[in-house]
Amino acid sequence: MKDHVSLHVHSSWEVIFQPIQGEIDAILRLLQDEECAPPTELIFAAFQSELSNIRCVIVGQDPYPSAGNAMGLAFSVDPSVEKIPASLKNIFIELESDQGIAIPESGDLTPWSKEGVLLLNRVLTTRVGESNAHIGLGWQKVTDHIARELGKRPLVAILWGRFAQELAPYFPLRVESVHPSPLSAYRGFFGSRPFSKANDLLTSKDIRPIDWSL
């Protein structure tokens, strides 16, 4: 892989990234003069864990546009961010209801990433201050490919909302519901128990469940 990707991706991902390296290079060239969220060095932060450790993938839409929030992990915010975004706050409410895990003070989901959860945004970047700014750059082709390859592996996908559910055909094991945003959380996200359901699917295949503690 080219240096700008390989420096920030665990070497085990090369087998998946190599076929889409051209598309990634083209997108990164378009972003050279953009102020991006997350910063360039964090675009591929979700792929720093060894591929064989991934047992669950949670798919988000695109990064938080506020400067300093996005950190390359879907739904996660940098630990320095004091105000937890509304969707993440709703995820924590459901986590407490489902798993009995107290709502954390930090919105940093790095512990999940280290536990084997791939926090994958459908679109990996946006322009600082603007949601969905990079939705037409080609990231969906990249994440389609990644999802297709992941779906061949023994893992479960958690797909919240329409954009994430575009990837549903790739994942034999999956949990689906509406998005945790304030606009939809009360229409089927709360009470959906995605964390328990994901673990039930994993254990049904003799795969170690996820420790969802934060």
Would you name the residues annotated as active-site residues? Answer: 62
What is the 3-state composition of the chain as percent helix, strand, coil, each rounded to the nearest 5? 40, 10, 50
Find the DSSP H helices in 61-188: 86-99, 110-115, 139-150, 162-165
- Cβ neighbours around 118 below 10 Å, total: 24
Longest dimension (CA), the chain: 48
What number of other Cβ atoms are within 10 A of residue 172's Cβ? 13
Of the candidates 123, 153, 121, 154, the one whose C-alpha atom is nearest the C-alpha of residue 136 is 123
DSSP state of 206: T
Q: How far apart are the first and last CA of the chain?
A: 33
